[in-house]
Amino acid sequence: MLPLSSSEFLPIDGRLWQFALRVYRQDGVPTACLALQDHFEADVTLLLFAGWVAVELQMNLSPEQCMQVNNLVSPWHQHIVKTLRQMRISLKSGPSPAPIGETEYLRADIKAAELKAECLELAFLENISSKWIRPELSGGTDPVRSNLVMILRLTTKAESVERASCYLDILERAIWQVKNQPNYT
């Protein structure tokens, strides 16, 4: 799959973005996502995408699909999202003249830009998945857990996936809670 052309539509504020916001609002999810990001180098947007694919598209991701989406969004995530995040984190304690009131406004602007960059990453992922042929779910496996583990394995050693299981439990539970909400469509 090639990168988007300039005329292609990105579903900003699309179904995946709305899903991600709902999941992130569930108890424990912000802390779990931060731990996955900081201690296991996970791309949280890819994890949310993996959960969405399982419940919305009813798909188990293949290893090839995981590699494909990672390869397509990794440059954006590395050079844009992570750069904005590092700038925001740096402004929290310095360098001088930070942290002062005026630099907090700048930090807030950077945080908003980081969130917008994550929104664009999710929109790009939603666009990619809209072109996939959707095979039937293979019986016997939990598609959410399977997809989350496959994505986490892209950035984490196999033995670390086991250590991350408590955070994956929180994220998985939140994904199912959102999916089972009466107003989820």
Tens-digit pLDDT profile for residues 13-39? 899 999 999 999 999 999 999 999 999
Does residue 8 surpass a pLDDT of 70?
A: no
Structure tokens at 21: 């916001």
Does residue 1 surpass a pLDDT of 50?
A: no
Over residues 74-79, mean pLDDT? 96
Contacting residues for 33 by C-beta, under 8 A, at least 6 apart: 24, 44, 47, 167, 171
Does residue 155 surpass a pLDDT of 90?
A: no
Domain residue extents for the chain = 15-131+142-179
C-alpha triplet 170, 68, 162: angle, nearest 5°? 30
Overall pTM > 0.85 = yes
Which comes out higher in pLDDT, residue 12 or 76? 76
Q: How many helices (H) and strands (E) does the chain have?
A: 9, 0
Does residue 85 surpass a pLDDT of 50?
A: yes
